[in-house]
């Protein structure tokens, strides 16, 4: 599988660790949006597109974000997950991601190389 296009959009600086957004195209036929380039402890890495994890309301089955105390649709009290370590770690779930580590490394290298080639981007993170 070839990465045939990478588009980088520098972040506006409102979120401290967010450096840029990225969209890419695979084999000229499949596009993936909302990848994010993040910086933590001087290291840049690529986060896959993700969404907040949802849990169903026991009364109406509507989906609510995992840490919601009350259902957004019927107002029922939801289970307290504040001490749920799994819920804490899995607040977000990837909606698309590489299956093989080798492709993840290839993807990350390609995206970070593209970022490094954009002069204004490089100046912004130094
Ligand atoms: Zn409900």
Domains and CATH numbers, the chain: 1-49+95-126 (3.30.1120.40), 50-94 (no CATH)
* In contact, 92 and 51? CB cutoff 8 Å: yes
Residue-wise burial string across 86-123, b where 16 or more C-beta atoms lie within 10 A, e elsewhere: eeeeeeeeeeeebeeeeeeeebbebbbebbeeeeebee
* In contact, 87 and 81? CB cutoff 8 Å: yes
Distance of CA 81 from the midpoint of ligand 1 (Å): 16
Distance of CA 74 from the midpoint of ligand 1 (Å): 4
Distance of CA 52 from the midpoint of ligand 1 (Å): 18
Residue 71 to residue 61: CA distance in whole angstroms: 9
* In contact, 63 and 56? CB cutoff 8 Å: yes
Q: Which residues pair with 43 in a beta bridge?
A: 40
pLDDT value of position 49:
96
pLDDT in tens, 16-72: 899 999 999 999 999 999 999 999 888 899 999 999 888 899 999 999 988 888 999
pLDDT in tens, 56-90: 999 999 999 888 889 999 999 988 876 666 666 67
Distance of CA 93 from the midpoint of ligand 1 (Å): 22
**3 state SS of 3:** strand
Tokens at 8, concatenated? 């980088």
pLDDT greater than 70 at residue 103 = yes
pLDDT value of position 57:
94
Distance of CA 14 from the midpoint of ligand 1 (Å): 33
Distance of CA 87 from the midpoint of ligand 1 (Å): 19
């Amino acid at each position: 599988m070839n990465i045939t296009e990478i588009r980088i959009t520098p972040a506006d600086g409102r979120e401290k660790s967010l450096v840029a957004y990225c969209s890419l195209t695979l084999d000229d036929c499949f596009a993936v949006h909302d990848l994010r380039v993040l910086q933590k402890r001087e290291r840049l890495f690529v986060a896959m597109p993700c969404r907040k994890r949802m849990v169903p309301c026991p009364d109406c089955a509507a989906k609510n974000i995992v840490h919601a105390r009350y259902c957004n649709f019927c107002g029922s009290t939801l289970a307290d997950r504040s001490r749920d370590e799994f819920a804490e770690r899995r607040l977000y779930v990837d909606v698309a991601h590489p299956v093989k580590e080798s492709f993840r490394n290839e993807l990350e290298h390609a995206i970070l190389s593209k970022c490094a080639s954009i002069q204004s981007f490089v100046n912004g993170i130094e």
